[in-house]
Structure 1
């Protein structure tokens, strides 16, 4: 793990997020007619701004720094940061995350605040964990804990683990070993499933309502089958668009994590060292394009570093107070925290400045919404 990997992950997430944002919720056919190819920012006068995908990545980084990678205190710290992030009126927040933040504010603990949803919220903030954690069991635990604060459906956690593991492989291996990636993911899921089975079996001896059903067992392993299909598609040199179509995503990639993650992993495996091609290929699939591009950007960026991300995209990222330089400083501090035995005070943001930024961002989002009412259709 180096500073370059962490900078690449955070900035890669931000650039992908900003490039994909204008395409969010638009079908591939209409996006091409209305916006054209994602070769530049199309959000605000050829400038890009980020959404919750990047913001959550930064929140996770801050919590890792503040807790010195301590799993006991991490949930409380991340939950506290989520509460204040929510209070600053972020635009485009997912329904499950919205409800989870409300629950946190009215007194639910991080262990009970999660909403039963298989949305892609946990996956969008998972790459940064793979950027800094080497041990597979630790990676699994960190992602699991962070995921379930907002999303209690196990599918959301499996998708997030797949993303974090991809980021870890992206920085550790060149070339990428697809089979090793799949084997390690299978190992993680099997270990977690076996633990769940043992726990549920012990409880079911007292209360039969807690017996693991065949449908739950099948669901726990579904992500591996989907990613195997992605690997097979890449091996056959199919495009990411063709793979998305094979999953029935003609109108774009949905926010369901078992749609988002396989398509994102396909784009990464197709272009593991080509940031531009990887991000553009997933945006062209349409749908939840800011999140899919943020995930792919974080994974590929983790491997290629900041220097592998097109400079014209970084330089035209128009953000404040969470600026490019602020994100660089956060990445440097996260790297430095790995060498300390005590928690550090992460760099902060001015709450009032974030609030004003979010209101301005909301106005631009609404203008994009009105624009979509007009042709071409």
Structure 2
């Protein structure tokens, strides 16, 4: 039986905050595939379709992580696998990928997750699912050392995404979330935004994910770069949606390939640039298209840990489908 830490209630509250940031981004992002919301937001960042906004597998799996942390005080991989499978069995229509369908069906029928994961994804999956769901873990361990955050993130990813890129994507995203919390009081400072990349790169193992993050850090904050990527010179406070996102997408990706390599670097760039503004971070993420709901889940989970719940637009929280834990 696991012994819960003395500050378990505070940890769980932080995990719930991250879950709100993730799930609101996920649900709003998903509306862009079902309605004209994507076009409307380009014209008016406050224009969103009416709720309730159903969440996707991104939030369903994040709920599994949240529940495991609340129960165990850390990642117990066997229990996490069962949580994932139970939520899948109850609601398989949440938007799971084809591989996830096969894997979670097998786990739900009693197959050991280690065997099932290898059979479905020989060598491990490097899909962006390991990163899309990890924000509650970042919140729970936000006041721990980054090494512990990274360790727990690897455990959470390994149940379904054992490929080195899948592990790296989870680690990078979790460390970014923990950094956002640790530096929330200085979230508007350019130095704080730069520092997110330093913290993440210090703990992300060699991988294509890491190389993408290195590229994001270089062009995002190098003021001698070409004009179309010198975005920190731009006054986002007064004109936050006038800069073309296309050069950034070409350099970093936008999740269209559904891989950590093609998703995490871009999401960390948006989160760092808008660490003090949840709404702007989400709308800029939506503008990039691609895997919108997953991108917004990743960005939303990170930025909410910097802004707090008050930073998430109240009407967005109301419009998101209710979470049942």
CA distance in 2 between partners of 1:76 and 1:23 (Å)? 35
1:19·1:38 contact (CA, 8 Å) conserved in 2? no
2:71 matched residue in structure 1: 66
1:231·1:269 contact (CA, 8 Å) conserved in 2? no
Relative to structure 2, which stretch is displaced further, 104-113 or 259-268?
104-113
Shift of 1:248: 6.0
Which secondary structure state, in structure 2, belongs to the residue aligned with residue 259 of structure 1? coil
Which secondary structure state, in structure 2, belongs to the residue aligned with residue 112 of structure 1? helix
Shift of 1:101: 0.8
Structure 1's 180 and 274: CA in aligned 2 closer, same or farther, altered over 3 A? closer
Structure 1's 152 and 96: CA in aligned 2 closer, same or farther, altered over 3 A? farther
Structure 1 residue 131 corresponds to structure 2 residue 134: no
Shift of 1:7: 3.7
1:37·1:284 contact (CA, 8 Å) conserved in 2? no
1:86 matched residue in structure 2: 88
Q: TM-score, normalised to structure 1's length?
A: 0.68
CA distance in 1 between partners of 2:279 and 2:211 (Å)? 28
2:15·2:136 contact (CA, 8 Å) conserved in 1? yes
2:127·2:166 contact (CA, 8 Å) conserved in 1? yes
1:14 matched residue in structure 2: 23
1:8·1:303 contact (CA, 8 Å) conserved in 2? no
Structure 1 residue 232 corresponds to structure 2 residue 218: yes
5+ long unaligned stretches in structure 1: 191-219, 327-347, 349-377
Matching of residues 109-124 of structure 1 within 5 Å: 109-114=112-117, 115=121, 116-124=124-132
Higher RCO (C-alpha 8 Å, min separation 6): 1
2:41·2:283 contact (CA, 8 Å) conserved in 1? no
Relative to structure 2, which stretch is displaced further, 85-94 or 300-309?
85-94
CA distance in 1 between partners of 2:46 and 2:250 (Å)? 22
Structure 1's 59 and 298: CA in aligned 2 closer, same or farther, altered over 3 A? same
Larger radius of gyration: 1
2:21·2:312 contact (CA, 8 Å) conserved in 1? yes
1:5·1:303 contact (CA, 8 Å) conserved in 2? no
Shift of 1:18: 1.3
CA distance in 2 between partners of 1:189 and 1:312 (Å)? 35
5+ long unaligned stretches in structure 2: 1-9, 222-229, 233-242
Q: TM-score, normalised to structure 2's length?
A: 0.78
CA distance in 1 between partners of 2:201 and 2:40 (Å)? 41
1:178·1:231 contact (CA, 8 Å) conserved in 2? no
Structure 1 residue 151 corresponds to structure 2 residue 153: no
CA distance in 2 between partners of 1:146 and 1:41 (Å)? 33
1:55 matched residue in structure 2: 60
- After superposition, give the CA deviation of every residue in 1:52-102 in whole Å (9 maximum; x if it has no partner): 111211110100111232x5xx11111111121121223310223222212
Shift of 1:118: 1.4
CA distance in 2 between partners of 1:162 and 1:189 (Å)? 6
CA distance in 2 between partners of 1:113 and 1:37 (Å)? 45
